[in-house]
Amino acid sequence: MSDAHPTYAEVGQQSIFITGGTEKPLVTQLWRYDAISDLTLFLNLHLGIKFELEQVNVSPKRELELSDQNHAALKAHFAKDFDLYENAIGG
């Protein structure tokens, strides 16, 4: 979790992108990607048209094990990102 990244990976943290570096999101609604069906339903109802969104670019499911120490370090380093995800609609 170093701060040094290759140039192609300089996309930044989601929490900074969504909040502009402030404490609150700059958007009124934030939807979890794993709840895309909830977003589709919301849009269908509010726009009055029916359509479907397909999930693409999804990582394959794999077994993953992190030590308790690494898990705690990950959660601490990306605390704002985890908070956004856990509080997004569909969670």
For residue 67, with 0-12 CB atoms within 10 Å meaning exposed, 13-18 middle and 19 or more buried, which class applies? exposed
pLDDT at residue 2, rounded to an integer:
64
Alpha-carbon Rg for the chain in angstroms: 16
Query: Distance (Å, rounded) from C-alpha 16 to C-alpha 24?
Result: 10
Helix, strand, or coil here: 62?
coil
Q: CA 69, 8, 79: angle at the middle one, nearest 5?
A: 30
- 33 within 8 A of 88, measured Cβ to Cβ: no
Q: Which residue has the tokens 């909830």?
A: 38
Query: Distance (Å, rounded) from C-alpha 62 to C-alpha 78?
Result: 21
pLDDT tens digits, 28-80: 889 988 888 898 999 999 999 998 888 788 888 899 899 999 999 999 999 99
pLDDT at residue 69, rounded to an integer:
97
pLDDT at residue 1, rounded to an integer:
58
